[in-house]
Amino acid sequence: MSILPILTAAKVLKALAKGGFTIVRQVGSHVQLRHPKDPEVLVTVARHSRDISRKMLASILKQARLSAKEFLKLLK
């Protein structure tokens, strides 16, 4: 069983913002974020009405170069 929760896009975006990511642009329902310390990192989060699955969250964390434990700390 995964330790990643099923979350809404708003909660994921809030946690990433807490980790230093800023929104650089939005195309439709897809929000792109960048980290100021590592501008190579570009993370895309789909802002749909349904929740983000664990598999999609794992993909977002891989893009953000964050571990699950680091992300869970940002959620608190």
Q: What is the pLDDT of residues 45-62, one digit of tens each?
A: 999 999 999 999 999 999
Judged against a pLDDT cut of 90, whether residue 1 lies above it is answered with: no
What is the chain's mean pLDDT, rounded?
94
Q: Which amino acid is at 19?
A: G
* Residue 21: half-sphere exposure toward Cβ, Cα within 13 Å: 27
In a domain, 51, yes or no: yes
Query: What average pLDDT does this structure show over 20-39?
Result: 95
Residue 40 lies in a domain: yes
| CATH value at residue 70 | 3.30.920.30
Count up the domains in the chain and report the number.
Answer: 1
The 8-class DSSP code of residue 40 comes to T
Residue 52 burial (CB < 10 Å; 0-12/13-18/19+)? buried
The residue segments making up the domain with residue 30 are 9-75
For the cut 90, the answer to whether the pLDDT of residue 2 exceeds it is no
Determine the residue type at 10.
Answer: A
Q: Is residue 1 part of a domain?
A: no
Burial classification of residue 36, based on how many CB atoms lie within 10 Å of its CB (0-12 exposed, 13-18 middle, 19 or more buried): exposed
